[in-house]
Structure 1
Amino acid sequence: MTLLTTWPESGPETLVRRTSDPAEIAAALAPIGVRYEQWPVREDVPADADSDTVFAAYGAEIEKLNAQEGFTTVDVLGLHPSDDPEYPAKAKAARAKFLQEHTHDDDDEVRFFVSGSGIFYLHVGGEVHAVLCEKGDLLGVPRGTTHWFDMGTSPSFTAIRFFHEEDGWVGNFTGDRIADRFPDFDTIDAGYQRDRATA
């Protein structure tokens, strides 16, 4: 299950939309060219699975998407809390980088969440769409779309990344601090989990 929250770009004081219905989310994102779909979840895949395990579990889905979209490079990115003394610094640096609003000139940003969660914030057409993705969610953000990503203060996710270009992730940062005006991952996720617990 995922969550879409939409506000005016001026700030979160006015709520435009809030839904966790997958069909509504896909329909709301389609007009801005964003692909949202859900793949079957492989419950036997550990949250911190390595690349070989992930590719073996989702090979059919990966091949199908590659054939549809012409991706040339696929990899697996994971970040999970651990006893590694370097984890806090790695997590802080990774979060700070992606929290800056940016675009991509040469490639789409396509991610499938194998485990965990994160939020893509899409700044399009005078609105900000916060898409909380969880295990089983695939999101495709078209090149040129202004956005940022928040993985929270304690990142925990594994995602498959798809690229058309071998250069991989190359961001063009706008310098706009718009992300500071909107609820972060921890705030949205905490509210979402409370709502789910009481539903």
Structure 2
Amino acid sequence: MSRLRIFGDADPATPRLSTDDPARMATELSRIGVAFEQWEARQPVAPGDSPEAIMDAYRGDIDRLVAERGFRSVDVVSIAPDHPERAAMRAKFLDEHFHKEDEVRFFVAGSGLFTLHVDDAVYEVLCEAGDLIAVPDGTTHWFDMGPSPSFVAIRFFTEPDGWVGHFTGTDIAQRFPRYEKGQAL
């Protein structure tokens, strides 16, 4: 189940808010400029489907978002627990960073943990199948796919080089819990 927890950036043990209500999640995240939506496929999607079949299942929402935000490319990424580079892929974005374009991801299957650091608060967003998150450019955050990553996501890009992570050098991400699938976050 998708969930949002909000912490003070100096208190990773005690959330100020914890909710799994999608409408409340969207409201709280919109206050910091983050979009959160839930989409439904217009046709069934099965494991192993081609990227084209996956995108066709969500074509209406994809086309709407591309038109609204001016994205130039859309792709599908699929990561399985047995991926030989899973540890390196997980480590790549575990530290606080930002991008020079919006980071927009829709989870077709599986899950991942986006953690956003805005002002003096940390927003921990567990995204699962059916969730879209749009993190504005310049927002400091980190992403954890877990030690055994399992997800299929649709990614939206304005510029291919805009998605490069610019790391802040702080240790805040190490002070907050990592994503372990099945854990009670």
Which TM-score applies when normalising by structure 2? Answer: 0.94
Q: Following superposition of structure 1 onto structure 2, how do residues 6-155 of structure 1 map, counting pairs within 5 Å?
A: 6-41=6-41, 44-82=44-82, 87-88=83-84, 90-105=85-100, 107-155=101-149
* 8 Å contact kept, 2:95–2:174: no
- Poorly superposed stretches of 4+, deviation over 3 Å: none
Q: Per residue, is there more strand in 1 or in 2? A: 2
Q: Following superposition of structure 1 onto structure 2, how do residues 160-171 of structure 1 map, counting pairs within 5 Å?
A: 160-167=154-161, 169-171=163-165
Give the residue type in structure 2 aligned to 1:8.
G
C-alpha distance in structure 1 between counterparts of 2:44 and 2:183, whole Å: 26
C-alpha distance in structure 2 between counterparts of 1:94 and 1:13, whole Å: 27
C-alpha distance in structure 2 between counterparts of 1:126 and 1:47, whole Å: 40
Give the residue type in structure 2 aligned to 1:128.
V
C-alpha distance in structure 1 between counterparts of 2:107 and 2:166, whole Å: 24
1:40/1:17 CA distance change after superposition, 3 Å: same
* 8 Å contact kept, 1:29–1:36: yes
Whether 1:190 and 2:183 are equivalent positions in the alignment is: yes
**SS of the residue aligned with 1:55?**
helix
What do residues 64-91 of structure 1 show as CA deviations (whole Å, max 9, x unaligned)? 1111111111111110124xxxx24x10
Give the residue type in structure 1 aligned to 2:55.
F
**SS of the residue aligned with 1:56?**
helix
* 8 Å contact kept, 1:41–1:135: no
C-alpha distance in structure 2 between counterparts of 1:163 and 1:144, whole Å: 15
C-alpha distance in structure 1 between counterparts of 2:162 and 2:57, whole Å: 23
**SS of the residue aligned with 1:71?**
coil
1:48/1:3 CA distance change after superposition, 3 Å: farther
**SS of the residue aligned with 1:185?**
coil
**SS of the residue aligned with 2:109?**
strand
C-alpha distance in structure 1 between counterparts of 2:20 and 2:136, whole Å: 22
What do residues 98-121 of structure 1 show as CA deviations (whole Å, max 9, x unaligned)? 10110112x100000000000100
The percentage of aligned residue pairs carrying the same residue is: 51
* 8 Å contact kept, 1:119–1:150: yes
C-alpha displacement at 1:11, in angstroms? 2.9
Q: Per residue, is there more helix in 1 or in 2? A: 1
C-alpha distance in structure 1 between counterparts of 2:50 and 2:157, whole Å: 19
C-alpha distance in structure 2 between counterparts of 1:4 and 1:130, whole Å: 6
**SS of the residue aligned with 1:94?**
helix
C-alpha displacement at 1:180, in angstroms? 1.1
**SS of the residue aligned with 2:12?**
coil
What do residues 115-160 of structure 1 show as CA deviations (whole Å, max 9, x unaligned)? 0000100000201110000000000000000000000000000100
* 8 Å contact kept, 1:48–1:158: no
